Structure 1
């Protein structure tokens, strides 16, 4: 239903403009607007466009967009060895639009991108801003692309297409004969109640139990409640998460969309009735499985200058094109409190909220440390402002639902430093949450670093969390640990990282620290995996041990014969993962999310890596504090140790049968994908080093020959890894997906990588 609504809306919008008018003018951001990257391994941009959208967008739609017939598009696809497309599910536009945006970012100008997505400029602008900082992930720039129009392929283009087809057939055979699981098939599987045991007959949510909260594995991030036809969290997923001990699921909302704005903000609240109806239905369904729904509050959101034209007294500080709604003004606080009272009054069975008040979106005047620029806030401390915002939120929530939880997250407080003054000012009804592993000192490859993000490879809790929990207990507040048990940006393209020993060690430490609950994921990490069970066991079984928990889970999941083998595999995986070269730049910029799907570039692109989106070839952005050689070595250590664990896990699968076999095969798929990703990162680092070394002057002939040979070996290895990941992800639609980024890659991207590798090999074929 959403697909057709958008199509009709887009057609009406386009009809209102003359053909020579760019409907994206003055609406969508372009940044520095550099020239888009070319795709030299394809005959031209048109062939790249067909390839990258094949099986994701209807051929007839691709044809209309470039002014040709479906037959011509079909012929172009066939000329490169792509299989015929019988039908295309609308699911990719509904649940994978970020995948479509990313893969066309360097191919299409905004007008054609809008037509491809069937979005208006306003819809895309909202998506770029509100969908978890998508525009920042894309690099805060739109590459410059000329309009793409169909042209009959010339002789050289037809010849190159034929060469691509030969490469495809050489490495993959006839793609039409590859039996693949459709993308998003996991949604259907996890939505079904088949195979679940949770009864779904609870009449209340367990407010007194230790919190075990995650994000929905395939939750929609931007505006998840507006369309009643899309089910954000289906019953099957609720049942599976309940079986893993989850009793809370959080979701992203924008408060001005969820409640009326009252006299002060009459423009707020458009569509809020529908959103509340959807929310009420979701909350009732989740309650049947003993799961509370929690709202992420990052409020009040900043607004554009026009919003303050007739209410300048409400504007706080400016950042870019937006101004804060100053919370030192009582009218702003009243709206904030009244809106939450309305939401929780309408939906009293909500579990509660958690807040971020000093980071992420620009919200209060102290949220980005600039409150001294505000005429009302400059004489106040950041502690007063932040504590007041949390108190205002708590007051509104508890007016509507006195038993709801309000969790104040210390993310960003004092620049992620110690914040006892904020904690001391919080109301007693608020719980204090801190990232467990934050500020933990580590040493990897003889390089010392400090944890400044989520990490599984480093086991917490760290000193900041310990201090903040102690301050909270002194102030009479309950405590919550923000911890990652499934995955982090160390690797998000798999549903979970099977490093069970590390998870158990961390959970045991948290049990000993006496925290009252755990938030187990950010947008990544909501898959109903055995990792969640580890946390559940430590929450419900006092004085248990790591070994007891891991042995029991291995026995339940794989059976008595396979359990010892699985334990050996988990230990090998965990020890290998301790080598991860942790750093903020590494987490966000390095190519581990893309793995073998990230292309090799024979010449430097000139583009900087972007946050969990485009790694490009910018090694300087990837490596963070690690020298390039050390950086490569650390990923090689992970890959080598992980390969050892895979041998144990393959034996695990062989020792199982029945339902145990199905679980083991599913987990092996994930473990194989992890190995392929990390091995590829090491290759990509080595490739960039060798490529750039060849560009140096005064190299001897022998040095040049060695570098050429090294590049050939790396290319050969990448072909093997890409082919291996193609086999894995073709049969497992979970691989490559993360909720806030959608699919980092699809199977045909791995085929393209092999085509790219063969092209790069030819560029370095001629030795001196």
Structure 2
């Protein structure tokens, strides 16, 4: 993939352009209960309250687009502030005398003006119904992120505070503000911004602070506060020079690092000063979002998995409970922040994506939230849902499922009465299911999420990770829902949302969105399908007729490799056959929605926003159809018979047509194919066109007489016989009387911590890979549903389990070092460069090309 930057992405130019206003007024007379604004609105020339200049300009531009006025005097638009009202709340009073906006503050006036724009764009004539419209937000912070700014992570490690590019142009901020966004987050590291008694400013500190200050000031003009996002205090490398100078900061070992110890007064001073230094330099920041547990190691609490009821094995034996450790850290951050920015918010994010039962200590944190701290938790982490009659489990980040997970509900219950309230981590625009489109248009699912959030007294929301934040329908829906009373139905809400754009075709558009939401619920609930499946970039995959046994590329990283065919790697919760059924249902129902949306577009005059909505829906139609096709192709390959060739040819022919159609859609919408976390395109018009010759060659191969898929030669291990490795030996044997298998491993070296892993799969790598991972202390993960698994005498490990597949392939591996940060040391089958093998999320060191057959 070519390394490009924001200056080369065409959609950035589009985001710099102001959005047009489209009035659809007919020639009719006002009814008795309506006020006639056909003569226009008399709008004050200057904003009477601070920080409203940008929305004033927006509304003036709106009035300039007002259709031809009739003779007569324009009715006045008046404003007043009543300070006893809630932040951002407002009333719009419509009467024969004009419009009177009564708000609690300047931000309430901003929200009222955007609401007025929607009211007139929703109307079929320049008339509004008499009465009072009252709105007050139940969500205070609604935090998003720039869609295209650098992520400050691998592989590019770009930092938006270190370059000169403008990621927040005026038109973009105006659009975000009009959609209800009032916060944006930017990634920082303390060491690059803060100065303390223990540390000096880094070389680029002043440059970064200057840009962050400029961005914060500019965004605040649009009612948007900047939140710095961090994972702090960061753990130390073992050879840290800072740690040698201040050994009291070193805590327990975690993931190959030394955790930050919270025992000493110096440690708390360092935290207070670090945060205080940033907010002293930029007091207008909205706050800080800090991952306090998860993602990367920070304090000694990081050594406690969220799925195990354990305490840190601290070197200093501090005696603090897990809740104490968390509170000490966040209270020090809060104090440092509030000293210089009393109105700033500290959001402590527990990032716990695992699809496993949570340890009880996690929920004690929700019962011990310090004053002035907001606790944030993922809304869907460890969610369960029934698909095809079976309960399936997903980790984090789901838009296709309404949620919440039972874990979120359990966190929300004790936090419900806390003054600062709970924050929900969501994916509003799109999620890891498919992040190569700007949004997935399923506002009905968003409605269900927000309704539950309000019931649970959630008061803040972080709307996105690196993706899921493109302006448009889903941001707009979330902005409306933050003020929603939920007195009506989901359909009522969707109608209100649709009217400004869809006018007389509102009912048809709502029917389309409802079909999309129904379709999307069939997305396979499995994080492996998100991380390695074909939904993101399957439209440029190189389909393989022969079994090449190549690994699938991760969907969140840029990749030039599109020829992976070990389709079982993206399955965990479903068989391949089940995934085919679900994705075909998803595809077919989505197509029904596209037909509805097409009728809505065709019933109205040309409108760019509607045409773009239809192009987006059609792009997703192609992507979802492609997902179903590639899964069906590999399912047919896995049980190949010559009579399947015609069906395989049809699938390939349809795929070629789909790729050509998607290439044309890409020519009209440059945001298609872009993945914000990959910081580039996973598919594009050029990539789609380049993928077609290999598909045409495959079509020829399938037309050849006696075509049969070839399987490469693999190592073999005989049931019941020992296989010798360099540092261990093992055998897999059948237990005929039980119909089970028994795995035995004998370790020859016990002085070094190790992780062993048995990975079993079907011969064609078409079904889920099943792992049994274990170390000296016991089993880490068990997909084989072991009846018994334990060490005997510390050197021999034995496990008994039912065979997952009739004919088995697989691998056995040994890695050294701390779990998830170790390196591969020894494996069967042997592979070149064992020590350099890359750890893969959810798959660890498994590689389909290095599997053997059990005979």
Provide the TM-score with structure 1 as the length reference: 0.71
| Deviation of the 1:292 alpha carbon | 0.6
- Whether the 8 Å CA contact 1:216–1:526 is kept in 2: the answer is yes
Instruction: Flag structure 2 segments of 5+ consecutive residues without an equivalent.
Output: 23-51, 57-104, 109-136, 153-157, 306-310, 707-855
CA change 1:331–1:693 in 2 (3 A) is: farther
Instruction: Identify the structure with the greater helix proportion.
Output: 1
2:143 corresponds to: 213
Paired residues for 1:352-751 under 5 Å? 352-369=287-304, 372-376=312-316, 379-412=319-352, 416-418=358-360, 419-545=362-488, 546-560=490-504, 562-612=505-555, 613=557, 616-657=564-605, 661-694=607-640, 703=641, 705-742=642-679, 743-751=681-689
Paired residues for 1:210-289 under 5 Å? 210-222=140-152, 223-260=158-195, 262-266=196-200, 269-289=202-222
| Deviation of the 1:605 alpha carbon | 4.1
Match of 1:314 among 249, 267, 291: 249
1:350 corresponds to: 285
Instruction: Identify the structure with the greater strand proportion.
Output: 2
CA change 1:280–1:93 in 2 (3 A) is: same
Q: Secondary structure at the match of 2:4?
A: helix
Q: Secondary structure at the match of 2:184?
A: strand
Provide the TM-score with structure 2 as the length reference: 0.64
Per-residue CA shift, 1:51-100, capped at 9, x if unaligned? x65xxxxxxxxxxxxxxxxxxxxxxxxxxxxxxxxxxxxxx53339xxxx
- Whether the 8 Å CA contact 2:149–2:160 is kept in 1: the answer is no
1:93 corresponds to: 4
Aligned length: 579
Per-residue CA shift, 1:334-375, capped at 9, x if unaligned? 222211101111111111112211111222222242773441
Whole-angstrom distance in 1 between the partners of 2:345 and 2:652: 53
Match of 2:695 among 757, 761, 767: 757
- Whether the 8 Å CA contact 1:224–1:232 is kept in 2: the answer is no
Whole-angstrom distance in 2 between the partners of 1:355 and 1:196: 39
- Whether the 8 Å CA contact 1:359–1:368 is kept in 2: the answer is no
Whole-angstrom distance in 1 between the partners of 2:659 and 2:240: 50
CA change 1:199–1:642 in 2 (3 A) is: farther
Larger radius of gyration: 2
| Deviation of the 1:682 alpha carbon | 1.4
- Whether the 8 Å CA contact 1:276–1:346 is kept in 2: the answer is yes
CA change 1:241–1:265 in 2 (3 A) is: same
Whole-angstrom distance in 2 between the partners of 1:450 and 1:588: 15
CA change 1:248–1:544 in 2 (3 A) is: farther
- Whether the 8 Å CA contact 2:197–2:270 is kept in 1: the answer is no
Q: Secondary structure at the match of 2:5?
A: helix
- Whether the 8 Å CA contact 1:204–1:287 is kept in 2: the answer is no
- Whether the 8 Å CA contact 1:441–1:450 is kept in 2: the answer is yes
Instruction: Flag structure 1 segments of 5+ consecutive residues without an equivalent.
Output: 1-51, 54-91, 97-182, 695-702
Q: Secondary structure at the match of 1:425?
A: coil
| Deviation of the 1:476 alpha carbon | 4.1
Whole-angstrom distance in 2 between the partners of 1:247 and 1:633: 41
Q: Secondary structure at the match of 1:497?
A: coil
Whole-angstrom distance in 2 between the partners of 1:492 and 1:272: 33
CA change 1:366–1:605 in 2 (3 A) is: farther
2:724 corresponds to: none
| Deviation of the 1:590 alpha carbon | 1.0
| Deviation of the 1:388 alpha carbon | 2.0
| Deviation of the 1:313 alpha carbon | 4.2
Q: Which moved more, 1:321-330 or 1:281-290?
A: 321-330
1:149 corresponds to: none
Cα RMSD for the two superposed structures: 2.7
CA change 1:382–1:571 in 2 (3 A) is: same
| Deviation of the 1:460 alpha carbon | 2.3
- Whether the 8 Å CA contact 1:447–1:625 is kept in 2: the answer is no
Whole-angstrom distance in 2 between the partners of 1:452 and 1:347: 36
- Whether the 8 Å CA contact 1:708–1:767 is kept in 2: the answer is no
Whole-angstrom distance in 2 between the partners of 1:208 and 1:475: 15
